Chain A
Amino acid sequence: AQTVTQSQPEMSVQEAETVTLSCTYDTSENNYYLFWYKQPPSRQMILVIRQEAYKQQNATENRFSVNFQKAAKSFSLKISDSQLGDTAMYFCAFMKHESHNAGNMLTFGGGTRLMVKP
């Protein structure tokens, strides 16, 4: 079974600064995906970024980037130029690369609550 750990329950950052959220995971799989989802107060789960384990290059999406260290089983999220709208819960998630159709379930970490301060 897979486990995902987010060691920072809460974090805060000043507007326009950079913050890094940590995530580690444990798996015996070699092929998998990693995700960061954002959950603002509206409760909606929003995909932030995705990383395929077979890719060495770190994924980036505008102000969001990851540091994927496969050997260390680490997957941190960096938010640059933080904005007030980035205030939310952030969840790291793991998904095996299953060959059968219904097997692609997400395993989530416990979440990090990020507050961006003006």
Chain B
Amino acid sequence: DTAVSQTPKYLVTQMGNDKSIKCEQNLGHDTMYWYKQDSKKFLKIMFSYNNKELIINETVPNRFSPKSPDKAHLNLHINSLELGDSAVYFCASSQAGLGMGRFFGTQYFGPGTRLLVL
């Protein structure tokens, strides 16, 4: 069973379009994340979210918005796509808060979605 899944795995679209990437986790975690990996492989947090709190990286344009229909899903909506949005987007999940267990706080990643904006 896939722990963290993302759809689609590849997305090719035109500038100006609006698109969504879906993420689902079956680990029972309470916190989910979106990361962006650019063409130089650098990974950067975009959002961190649970049902109580959303933390947005201040560098993320407001064209990007996370939407969570329930605890197991965190979708990424992108409006008015730009060339610079081309990247690999990773979803991750963890059991957040305070804890000392071996896997507490560890983030598990989805397979990534490669977005290409033409």
Contact = CB atoms under 8 A, between A and B. Distances in A.
Interface of A: 33, 35, 37, 39, 42-47, 50, 52, 89, 91, 95, 97-108, 110-111
Secondary structure of the B side of the interface?
strand
A106 B50 contact: no
Contacts, number: 82
Interface in B48-76: 48-50, 52-55
Given A101-B30, A107-B45, A110-B42, A47 B53 contact: no
Contacts of B94: 104
A41 to B, nearest CB: 12
B55 A103 contact: yes
B112 A43 contact: yes
Contacts of A91: 43
Given A101-B30, A102-B31, A105-B48, A45 B96 contact: no
